[in-house]
Amino acid sequence: MAVEVYLGFAIAMLFLGIYCVMTKKNVIKSAIGISVMVKGGCLSFLATGGGTAQVAVVMIIVVDAILAAVLLSLAVNVYRQTGKLDFESLKQLRG
């Protein structure tokens, strides 16, 4: 496949992730949107780069896994405290 096809998919994934983060009020859905954005960036690195891009993508995937774990643990703690998973329930945690 041509590089343009991969870049098209990468841009589509990036905008899909941005849409998900901007429109969803749920913490878990926003975390999924962030992960989709990161995967779109990884795909664009792989489409345009060589061997060094592959090393960078592996590092990005590791950081993305850590970010997903932190966001999901935050979601679990918010749900335990408030019983909801929306961003409005985070305001209740101020004290």
| pLDDT recorded at residue 71 | 87
On whether the CB atoms of residues 45 and 82 are closer than 8 A, the answer is no
On whether the CB atoms of residues 88 and 27 are closer than 8 A, the answer is no
| pLDDT recorded at residue 90 | 79
**Architecture of domain 3-94 in this structure:** Orthogonal Bundle (1.10)
- pTM listed for this prediction: 0.81
Looking from the CA of 66 toward its CB, the CA atoms found within 13 Å total 6
- What number is the average pLDDT over the span 42-55? 85
CA 47, CA 37: separation in Å to the nearest integer? 15
Q: Around Cβ 80, how many Cβ atoms within 10 Å?
A: 8
Q: Around Cβ 77, how many Cβ atoms within 10 Å?
A: 11
